[in-house]
């Protein structure tokens, strides 16, 4: 194992790489969210649920909301990106996914430093977060 972090005030190489990717991803995600929300709220792109009807839905439980609004769970929103409200999910999903990218990016850095244990941890974390993102794990949705 190379590069003992205790010997330096500087962050370790994998930490710097993680931070750089996280920073770029976070900024891109925020820009996507703000841009898509602008298109949605200004009515430039027509929403699936009209803006003046949205207050009819947000007091329902998620199960009732999906049923009444005829919305499906999981990655179904990708088919609905032509609507202003669903367009917002690109930025939201990107923000929620940037951590997975960060973990994948540091794997080669950790491996190069012969840090096998943390390489395994980083891969495992990316797998767990990807599993959560996949939608395979279902919830109740009362």
- Alpha-carbon gap, residue 91 to 98, rounded angstroms: 10
Residue 97, Cβ density class (10 Å: 0-12 exposed, 13-18 middle, ≥19 buried): middle
Q: Decide if residue 43 touches another protein (CB under 8 A).
A: no
- Work out whether the CA dihedral 112, 11, 26, 100 comes out positive or negative: positive
Residue 97 structure tokens: 């996914």
- Closest CB 82 distance from another protein, rounded Å: 15
Q: Decide if residue 31 touches another protein (CB under 8 A).
A: no
Give the x/- contact pattern for another protein in 44-83, rule: CB under 8 A.
-------xxxxxxxxxxxx--xx----xxxxx--------
- Closest CB 65 distance from another protein, rounded Å: 7
| Count of positions on this chain that bind another protein (CB under 8 A) | 75
Interface residues for another protein in 97-126 (CB under 8 A)? 97-100, 117-118, 121-122, 124-125
Is residue 104 within 8 A of residue 126, CB to CB? The reply is yes
Nearer to another protein, 73 or 79 (CB): 73
Q: How far is CA 14 from the centre of its chain?
A: 21
Q: Decide if residue 32 touches another protein (CB under 8 A).
A: no
Q: Decide if residue 28 touches another protein (CB under 8 A).
A: no
Nearer to another protein, 1 or 82 (CB): 1
- Alpha-carbon gap, residue 60 to 101, rounded angstroms: 34
């Amino acid at each position: 194992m190379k590069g003992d972090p205790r010997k330096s005030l500087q962050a370790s190489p994998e930490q710097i790489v993680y931070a750089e990717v996280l920073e770029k991803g976070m900024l891109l995600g925020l820009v996507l969210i703000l841009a898509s929300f602008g298109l949605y709220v200004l009515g430039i792109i027509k929403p699936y649920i009209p803006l003046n009807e949205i207050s009819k839905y947000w007091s329902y439980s998620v199960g009732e909301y999906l049923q009444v609004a005829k919305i499906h769970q999981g990655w179904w929103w990708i088919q609905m990106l032509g609507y202003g409200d669903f367009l917002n999910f690109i930025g939201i999903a990107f923000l929620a996914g940037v951590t997975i990218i960060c973990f994948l990016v540091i794997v080669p850095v950790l491996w190069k430093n012969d840090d096998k244990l943390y390489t395994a941890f980083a891969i495992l974390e990316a797998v767990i977060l990807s599993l959560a993102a996949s939608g395979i794990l279902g919830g109740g949705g009362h």
